[in-house]
Chains A and B, each alone.
Chain A
Amino acid sequence: MQPFAYHRASSLEDALRHGAMEGASYLAGGTTLVDLMRIGVMRPDRLIDLRDVAELRGFDTGGETLRFGALASMAEVADDIVLRQDYPALAESLLLAASAQLRNMATVGGNLLQRTRCMYFRDTRYQACNKRSPGSGCAALDGVNRQHAVLGGSERCIATMPSDWAVALTAFDAAVEIAGPQGRRTMPIDSFHISYGEHPEAETALRPGEILTAILVPANRAGRTSCYAKVRDRESFAFAISSAAVALRMEGGRVAEARIALGGLSTTPWRATAAEALLRGRSLDESSMKEAAARAMDGADPRPGNAFKVELGRRTVEDALLRAARRAEEGDAA
């Protein structure tokens, strides 16, 4: 590991001041950052530890807007009773992620900023990785790419965005709040993770020195009948091969509102708006589900190693729709 300086920030201002220095990185739970430093993939010169910055902690699921401080731990947010009842997809996306130990350390802000699990990115013995060293090529394009994206990739990079939480947040039109040397700004989560295009090394709209301060979710009644379906080989402690966050609002047996976001299949959290539109006003049956699922995977561009994910993505959407529909029925019955 490359030697580095360490500073424990006392306030947001203190953090921003230190974060503006050359080679600085913010440290939250460290479960991504320290890991990547240990294997030489990230090499910051200084770490600015955010854990003492009080205003970044805590969360509130009570009001018209749910607010999650960036430094709240995945575990505490996942345990929130309101979230579990009113937004099961959000709680499940956290609970189905990583392991209990990691969720205790990891923060909900850090989670949105975690790096891809592409094995070539994580192993410096492979030279070709545009994300790690821009312009070097991409070893995954014709390498081992079972876990890679079939949606949103480019000829430069097909790495998946691995966060489950980001997928669920995307389904709910969440926004992120950012503090920087020039002040604060808020942006929709849709535009926070950016498409790779020519520059896969840039993953988010966060500019150097900026701090993600909070995640905001507009309250939504469809949240109650939401679910997060995560497909993986292993029952626990594994990233998604494919996943879908779905929320439904049913009226008179028809879909009044559908929200669908995909994970494990794409380079950014993937909102399937066309599929949502297709379902609106229809009853949820085998044929409407299948049409919507197929629409959600429109434009997929698979490789030999992940071709199955086009079909699996559709099935995952169907599975999530069914589960959400079941929740809707149970809710009606109750």
Chain B
Amino acid sequence: MNAIIGTPQPRLDGPAKVTGAARYALDNSRAGMLHAALVLSPVALGRVAAIDDAAVSALPGIRLVMTHRTMPKLEEDKPMQEGGHAHASFRPLESDEIRYHGQPVAVVLADTREQAEYAAGILPVRYEARAGAVAHLPEGAPSEEEVGSLDVGDADAEWEASAVRVTADYEEPAQHHNPIELYGCLAEWDPMGGLTVHVPSQWAGGMRAGIAKSFGLPADKVRVVSPYIGGAFGGKATVLGTTLLACAAAKLAGRPVILQVSRQQGFPTSSFRPAARQHIRLGATAEGKLRAFHYITENQTCRFDNVSFPGGEILARLYDIPGMKIREGLVRTDVNAPGFMRAPAETPAVFAFESAIDEMAVALGMDPVEFRRRNEPAKDPVKGLPWSSRSLLRCYERGAELFGWSQRSHAPRSMTRDGDLIGWGCATAVYPTFISTSSATLRLTSEGRAEVHCSASDIGTGTYTILAQIAADRLGLTPDKVTVRLGDSAFDPANVAGGSTTALASGNAVGKVAEQARAALFQALTEVEEGPFKGMAPASLSLSEGTVRAGNATQSLAEAVSSLPRGKVEATDQWAHPEMPAKQSKMLWRAGSPQGGPDMQSFTALAFGAQFVEVRINPRTRTIRVPRMVGVYAGGKILNPRTAHSQLMGGMVWGLSNALLEASEVDRNHASFVNADMAEYHIAVNADIPALDVEMLEERDDKIGPIGAKGLGEIGITGTAPALANAIFHATGIRVRKLPLRIEDILS
């Protein structure tokens, strides 16, 4: 049979998605369900002085107005980064206090969505506002807390001794998630006090734990169901306040409640990429050997939690720099808690650092690709460990070749086409290989099929497909003979679909249980009275093309499984990397998110890539367009080039959007994000996306686990913004150090 792993396979969930058969959370409905609508605060700080719900409650169809006075008291939970499962420790409607613009202050339940929204829109709420709220990252704000610190060598001495120095500050704005699928959920209590929540979820098991904890329930009383997700990217990893509100409202009303959070209301009520600022110093010898790297950052967070995304530790793995000093800090602002967004730590950090690297190459008068070649580290500069595998320079070589980099004239403003300014830039893409753990169940059925259960989520990355490929490979089946069921907290525990961990962890778990099921099948077949394999050595049996064989004896898998006393074979187990401490891997069973890497005990693992882009700039209006992009990546074993390609391409598409368009604009008078809809919060459209070439290099990695696959879900976004900023510099001679890169930055 042809190899299944490593070949391009179409997505198994594709037909269901394009025909509409796939049922997303908000496609569900229940008899007698009520529709919820949110009332959000127009003030950022203060309190709710009064809510007069009399008139609204009398409107047709209105069933309940829930405010802080009637909201059931919730138990505490912590944000995921602090070991909990919540988006924020701040509990919705916990009191009359208002802590950010757009905080929910009431929920209206009605028979129809239109009734609920209308009532929510006219509910009279009196606010007592307090001045002084801040939603932006204030200029020159000192960090209030250190969240990351790393020293390698003597960075100050190396800086002093450096012949060539670059000092620069960079800044990235807050950004909000705008996947197609809106936030929301359907919450349903049963007569026994159990709660089922249909909610788009990157972590069914984690959300179950968080919801159960909030309502003081044992975990097995709650079920979170999320087979399909219409885009998540980190925004659907944790229990949002709005999910808790829907569950609470359903409890009060005694009826199922569906809440669809509108696009506009989704901005303040969900997690976002916080604003950040980096102060960088790079020192190098005149020959282009890096010596010093200072990295001081300020990262926006909220008042109530320490959610932050320091990226310095990853940057310290990019090049061989003997002196490094990294200090990362928090700045508190009056916003809802920030949260994960595709490569949350890496995206802003890599923009800043890879821009600075380019600035240094310019200062040295050196080809930026050559400059990186001179600073390639033989081992992990932080821990001194060997790389599990590292192919950055190969990525640059191949990328340069595909792009035609050798044709670049390096001086800024030296390339034009049809009167337009042309700029070519490159940057490194990087994402750490986080090594998690997962469990899975595999069942062989009397129809000759395999069924895989795992609570892991397919957030559009292709998990359904690669898990089927892995099971099929181990069992000698075609992928269509494997049914994979995911995204249900009733299934075996898995890590959050975050940190690009799912392919490796759940893939290894499925590989492991598939092998166990096959072994159990062989063992059992040798014990079937009158069966063709009776008395044979289990090791002499094989399974391929749906047939069990040993010597001349053959039996179809369907017949073989049917012949067993139980009519099925089942295996359940957990896979954990041997270097993950047992104490850590056991956390999986308590809805933890155990995760090792990038440094393990004996190696350090990251995925690398190289991106090359071309910008075309109108010499008068300075409109920035991108005719082409090239990305070359090495990510260990590529399980399915087709789904991997989509991830990398999608990452670069968002990278462009992140670099040129996306910013949540802060109104300083209201401490609010003001462009809260898709007409004003611009994400890239088709016409913005150029010829986009993605290539994956062969890379063998034996250290990270049996299937040897590094996560590729996030790396694609990381190099695009600096590559574009570097290209804009090349085209115009103007260095833009602030995202998004806009016309006004290069007008003069």
Contacts and interface: CB of A to CB of B under 8 A. Distances in A.
Contact of B264 (A2, A39, A120, A238): A39
B738 interface: no
A319 B621 contact: yes
A236 B621 contact: no
Interface stretch (A149-157, A192-200, A307-315): A307-315
Contacts of A318: 620
A144 interface: yes
A125 B40 contact: yes
Contacts of B742: 233
Interface in B660-685: 660-661, 665-670, 672, 674-677, 679-680, 682, 684-685
A6 interface: no
A26 B454 CA distance: 55
Given A1-B117, A3-B118, A308-B743, A315 B679 contact: no
A236 B743 contact: no
Contact of B670 (A139, A233, A308, A319): A139
Contact of A237 (B623, B672, B685): B685
Secondary structure call for the A interface: loop
A218 interface: no
Contact of B42 (A119, A125, A233): A125
Contact of A231 (B117, B623, B667, B686): B623
Contacts of A123: 264, 674, 676
B622 interface: yes
Contacts of A40: 121
A54 B553 CA distance: 80
Contact of A233 (B40, B660, B677): B660
Interface in A134-148: 139, 142-144, 146-147
B724 to A, nearest CB: 13
Contact of B688 (A144, A146, A234, A319): A234
Contacts of B264: 39, 123
B685 A234 contact: yes
A57 interface: no
A233 B665 contact: no
Contacts of B102: 125
Contacts of B42: 125-127
A7 interface: no
Contacts of B740: 233
Interface in A211-234: 229, 231-234
Interface in B207-228: none
A327 to B, nearest CB: 15
A162 B51 CA distance: 38
A286 B743 CA distance: 22
Interface string B365-402: 00000000000000000000000000000000000000
B688 A312 contact: no
B540 interface: no
A93 interface: no
Contacts of B668: 143
B685 A231 contact: no
Interface residues of A, number: 39
B618 interface: yes
Nearest to A234: B682
Contacts of B680: 117, 119, 147
A114 B671 CA distance: 29
Contacts of A308: 743-744, 747
A143 B667 contact: yes
Contacts of B743: 231, 233, 241, 308, 312
A60 B42 CA distance: 49
Contact of B621 (A117, A126, A238, A316): A316
B407 interface: no
Nearest to B41: A125
A303 to B, nearest CB: 13
Nearest to B42: A125
Contacts of A3: 118
B677 A311 contact: no
B413 interface: no
Interface string B402-415: 00000000000000
A315 B620 contact: yes
B682 A238 contact: yes
B661 A234 contact: yes
Interface in B633-677: 660-661, 665-670, 672, 674-677
Contact of A319 (B114, B620, B687, B748): B620
Given A2-B118, A312-B744, A236 B660 contact: no
Contact of B665 (A144, A241, A312): A144
A142 B102 CA distance: 20
B401 to A, nearest CB: 28
A122 interface: yes
A125 B123 CA distance: 13
* Nearest 10 CB-CB pairings of A with B: A308-B744, A236-B687, A125-B42, A235-B687, A315-B620, A144-B665, A319-B620, A235-B688, A143-B667, A231-B621
Interface of A: 1-3, 39-40, 117, 119-120, 122-127, 139, 142-144, 146-147, 229, 231-238, 241-242, 308, 311-312, 315-316, 318-319, 322
11 contacts: A127-B42, A139-B667, A139-B670, A142-B669, A143-B667, A235-B685, A235-B687, A236-B688, A242-B621, A315-B622, A319-B618
